[in-house]
Chains A and B, each alone.
Chain A
Amino acid sequence: MSVTQTLATIAQTLPDGAGVDDAQNIAAAQGAGMAYGLAAIGPGIGIGYLVGQSVQAMARQPEAAGMVRTTMFLGIAFTEALALIGFVVFILLKFA
């Protein structure tokens, strides 16, 4: 359900006393939840694949484990940044 649909539904179902602010807050909360949920999909797959491949590399060549681990953390840091930007968007939508 999109945010505008939600707004319409909420506007119909809210009691008369409730203002536009309440409807906006609810829509913002829904948008925030969806923003973070969607932002977490890609990095989740990415980090899983990355760590899996790193474990495989370390198992195949244990003497290169140090180098692989450092590169793995670097890759995780870059991949995870997307999810974290999603989290910041969540905070901005929900609270700002």
Chain B
Amino acid sequence: MSLLPTLLIAAGEGGGLHYPSIEDLVEWPGIPAWEGAFYDFNKIAFINVLAVILTSMLFIFSDTKSLVPRGFRNLAEMAVDFFDKGIIGQTIGHGGEKYLPFIASIFFFVFFANIFEVIPLFHMPASARMATPLFLGVLTLVFFVAVGLKHQGPKYFFNACFPPGVPKPLYLLVAPIEFLSTFIVRPFSLAVRLFANLLAGHILIVTFGVLSITLFTASALVLILPFSFLMLCAMVGFEIMVSFLQAYVFAILAAVYIGGALHPEH
């Protein structure tokens, strides 16, 4: 048996390590007076509302009339440049510029919902509950199906299920797989990717937080405390990166799906 588990068990016997259950990590009590009503409100809903407000603020405050960009406008122009060249230019290509507002709102909403994971007093990503990512996944599905219907008409469903260049008999096999992967697996995988990444990050941070608190004792175990605390700090930095990266990946995948609906494969 290695050193750390032995020490942990020792700490546990000394009345120490109580790892919270998963319910304690992700479930937050609502406002008691509103319990059960459709406007039931808890921390996750609050973070979602905050993310919406912050995203809208970026859009509102960057809309200045002056020719010289300053303040928010600078940030917004950098962001638009990044979305235009980094995401839409690489994935949708020509004709994708008008989907920039959708991609930008998705990116910023996901980023703000994620970044609350490391903001003190919140320390909970809204994306670590399945409702938020699943809603975003379904929203993306609805959006790219709408784009496909607009640009290809009802033939879009046919094009999506019957990719060109496949021998005719193989369509028996290919068409159901394509249908499943386009209309069911895509929103599901978008949602699960975001959800699992953020939940894993949340659990990691809690693990090292609990470890740091438990090791803060008068015994010799305090010698390990610096390592677990440094690991906690490193994890916070890592989670900031993950928050950005997941927002970026979500936006890029949404753009790829929109691009696929915009131009049928020939």
Report how far A76 CA is from B197 CA in the complex, Å.
13
Distance (whole angstroms) from the CB of A89 to the closest CB of chain B: 10
**CB within 8 Å of B: which of A60-96?**
66-67, 70-71, 73-74, 76-77, 80-81, 84-85, 87-88, 91, 94-95
Chain A CB within 8 A of B252 CB: yes
Chain B residues 155 to 199 lying within 8 A of chain A, measured CB to CB, are: 189, 192-193, 195-197, 199
**Which of B38-46, B70-78, B86-94, B145-153 lines the interface with chain A?**
B86-94
**Additional 13 contacts, C-beta under 8 A, given A73-B248, A84-B200:** A66-B85, A66-B86, A73-B245, A74-B249, A74-B252, A77-B249, A77-B252, A81-B193, A84-B192, A84-B193, A87-B199, A88-B196, A94-B22
| Count of A interface residues, CB-CB < 8 Å | 17
Of A74, A84, A85, A91, the contact of B253 (CB 8 Å cutoff):
A74
Q: A85 and B192: CB pair below 8 A?
A: yes
B86 near A74 (CB under 8 angstroms)? no
Instruction: Quote the shortest CB–CB distance from B244 to chain A (angstroms).
Output: 12
Residues of A within 8 A of B249 (CB): 73-74, 76-77
Chain A residues with CB under 8 A of B252:
70, 73-74, 77
A residues within 8 Å of B by Cβ? 66-67, 70-71, 73-74, 76-77, 80-81, 84-85, 87-88, 91, 94-95
Cβ A77 vs Cβ B199 within 8 A = no
Q: Do A66 and B90 touch across chains, with their CB atoms under 8 A apart?
A: yes
With contact pairs A73-B248, A77-B249, A88-B196 given, residues A95 and B22 touching in the complex (Cβ less than 8 Å): yes
Given contacts A70-B86, A77-B249, contact A85 B256 (CB under 8 A): no
B248 touches A87 (CB 8 A): no
Q: With the chains together, A74 CA to B200 CA distance in Å?
A: 20
30 chain-A/chain-B pairs, Cβ below 8 angstroms: A66-B85, A66-B86, A67-B90, A70-B86, A70-B91, A70-B252, A71-B90, A73-B245, A73-B248, A73-B249, A73-B252, A74-B252, A74-B253, A74-B256, A76-B249, A77-B193, A77-B249, A77-B252, A80-B193, A81-B192, A84-B192, A84-B197, A84-B200, A85-B192, A85-B196, A87-B199, A88-B192, A88-B195, A94-B22, A95-B22
Inside 8 A of B253's CB, which chain A residues have their CB? 74, 77
- Shortest distance from the beta carbon of B115 to any chain A beta carbon, whole Å: 19
Contacts of A95 in B (CB 8 A): 21-22
- For A85, the chain B residues whose CB sits under 8 A away are 192, 196
Assembled-state Cα–Cα distance A66/B89 (Å): 10
B222 CB to nearest A CB, Å: 28
- Hey, which chain A residues are within 8 Å of B90, CB to CB? 66-67, 70-71
CA of A95 to CA of B249, assembled, Å: 28
Residues of A within 8 A of B85 (CB): 66
Give the distance to chain A from B54, nearest Cβ to Cβ, in Å.
24
1/0 contact string of B108-126 vs chain A (CB within 8 Å): 0000000000000000000
> Sorted from nearest, which 9 A-B pairs have the closest CB atoms?
A84-B196, A70-B90, A95-B22, A77-B249, A87-B196, A88-B196, A81-B189, A81-B193, A87-B200
Q: How far is the CA of A77 from the CA of B257 in the complex (A)?
A: 14
